[in-house]
Structure 1
Amino acid sequence: MMTTSDKKKIQQDFKEKMDYDELLNCMRCGFCLPSCPTYIETGHQEKYSPRGRIALMKGITDGVIEPDDDIAHSLDLCLGCRACEPVCPSGVQYGHLLEDARSILQKHKKESVPVKILRKGIFTELFPHQNRLETATSLLGFYQRSGLPKVARKIGFMNLFPESMATMEKVLPEVPKRKEIRQRPRFFEHEGEKKATVALFAGCLMDTMFFSTNNATIRLLQKAGCDVVIPENQLCCGALHGHNGELEQAKEMARKNIEAFEASDADYIITNAGGCGAFLIEYDHILADEPEWAERAKLFVSKLKDISAILVAFDFQKTHHLKLPAQTVTYQDSCHLRNVMHTFREPRVLLQSIEGVKYEEMEGADTCCGSAGDYNIVQPKMAMQILDHKMGKVEKTQANTIVTANPGCLLEMKAGIERVGKTGQVRAVHIADLLLEALE
Structure 2
Amino acid sequence: MTTVQEREKIQDQFKQRMNEDDLLNCMRCGFCLPSCPTYIESGFDEAHSPRGRIALMKGVVDGLIEPDEDVERSLNLCLGCRACEPVCPSGVNYGHLLEEARDIINQNKKHPLPVQVIRKAAFHHLFPHQNRMRNVTGLLGFYQRSGLQKLARNTGVMKLFPETLATMEKVLPAVPKMKEMKNRPEFLPSRGTVSKRVAFFSGCLMDTMFMETNNATAKLLQAAGCEIVIPKNQACCGALHGHSGEKAEGKELAKRNIQAFEDLNVDYIITNAGGCGAFLFEYGHLLHDEPEWHERAITFSTKLKDFTEVLIECDFHKNVPLSLPPGIVTYQDSCHLRNVMHTSSAPRRLLHAIEGTEFREMKDADRCCGSAGIYNIVESEMSMQILDHKMEQAKASRAAIIVTANPGCLLQMKLGIEREGLSDKMKAVHLADLLYEAMPLDPDKPH
Q: Mark yes or no: TM-score above 0.5.
A: yes
Q: Distance in 2 between matches of 1:188 and 1:47?
A: 50
Q: Distance in 1 between matches of 2:55 and 2:427?
A: 42
Output the amino acid matched with 1:221: L
Partner of 2:395: 395
Partner of 2:378: 378
Shift of 1:213: 0.2
Partner of 2:133: 133
Q: C-alpha offsets along residues 142-200 of structure 1, whole Å, 9 cap, x if unaligned?
A: 11001221211111100000100001000000110111122232110001221111111
- 1:340-351 equivalences under 5 Å are 340-351=340-351
Q: Distance in 2 between matches of 1:54 and 1:378?
A: 22
Q: Is 1:149 matched up with 2:146? A: no
Q: Is 1:6 matched up with 2:1? A: no
Q: C-alpha offsets along residues 92-119 of structure 1, whole Å, 9 cap, x if unaligned?
A: 0000000000000001222121211111
Partner of 2:445: none
What is the TM-score when the length of structure 1 is the normalising length?
0.99
Contiguous gaps of at least 5 residues in structure 1: none
Aligned-partner SS, 1:82: coil
- 1:99-248 equivalences under 5 Å are 99-248=99-248
- 1:422-437 equivalences under 5 Å are 422-437=422-437
Shift of 1:424: 2.2
Q: Distance in 2 between matches of 1:65 and 1:112?
A: 24
Output the amino acid matched with 2:289: D
Partner of 1:265: 265
Q: Distance in 1 between matches of 2:215 and 2:26?
A: 43
- 1:319-334 equivalences under 5 Å are 319-334=319-334
Output the amino acid matched with 1:352: H
Q: C-alpha offsets along residues 392-414 of structure 1, whole Å, 9 cap, x if unaligned?
A: 00000000000000000000000
- 1:299-318 equivalences under 5 Å are 299-318=299-318
Contiguous gaps of at least 5 residues in structure 2: 441-447
Q: C-alpha offsets along residues 256-289 of structure 1, whole Å, 9 cap, x if unaligned?
A: 0000011322211000000000000000001111
Q: Distance in 1 between matches of 2:313 and 2:178?
A: 34
Partner of 1:285: 285
Partner of 1:353: 353
Partner of 1:37: 37
Q: Distance in 1 between matches of 2:4 and 2:210?
A: 46
Aligned-partner SS, 1:437: helix
Partner of 2:252: 252
* C-alpha RMSD of matched pairs (Å): 0.7
Output the amino acid matched with 2:114: P
Paired residues in the alignment total 440
Q: Distance in 1 between matches of 2:139 and 2:90?
A: 48
Shift of 1:4: 2.1
Output the amino acid matched with 2:417: I
Output the amino acid matched with 2:370: G
Partner of 2:22: 22
